[in-house]
Amino acid sequence: GQQLNQSPQSMFIQEGEDVSMNCTSSSIFNTWLWYKQEPGEGPVLLIALYKAGELTSNGRLTAQFGITRKDSFLNISASIPSDVGIYFCAGQLSGGGSNYKLTFGKGTLLTVNP
Partner 1 sequence: DGGITQSPKYLFRKEGQNVTLSCEQNLNHDAMYWYRQDPGQGLRLIYYSQIVNDFQKGDIAEGYSVSREKKESFPLTVTSAQKNPTAFYLCAIGRYNEQFFGPGTRLTVL
Which spans of this chain sit near partner 1 (rule: CB under 8 A)?
1, 3-4, 6, 30-31, 33, 35, 40-45, 48, 50, 88, 90, 92, 98-102, 104-107
Residue among 35 and 73 whose Cβ is closer to partner 1: 35
Contacts of 50 (CB under 8 A, 6+ apart): 30, 31, 65
In Å, how far are 6, 7, 102 from 13, measured between CA atoms? 18, 15, 29
Residue among 15 and 38 whose Cβ is closer to partner 1: 38
- The nearest distance, CB 30 to partner 1, in angstroms, is 8
Q: Give the span between the Cα atoms of 98 and 95, in whole angstroms.
A: 9
- The nearest distance, CB 28 to partner 1, in angstroms, is 14
Q: Helix, strand, coil: what percent of the chain each, to 5? A: 5, 55, 45
Residue among 3 and 113 whose Cβ is closer to partner 1: 3
- The nearest distance, CB 43 to partner 1, in angstroms, is 5
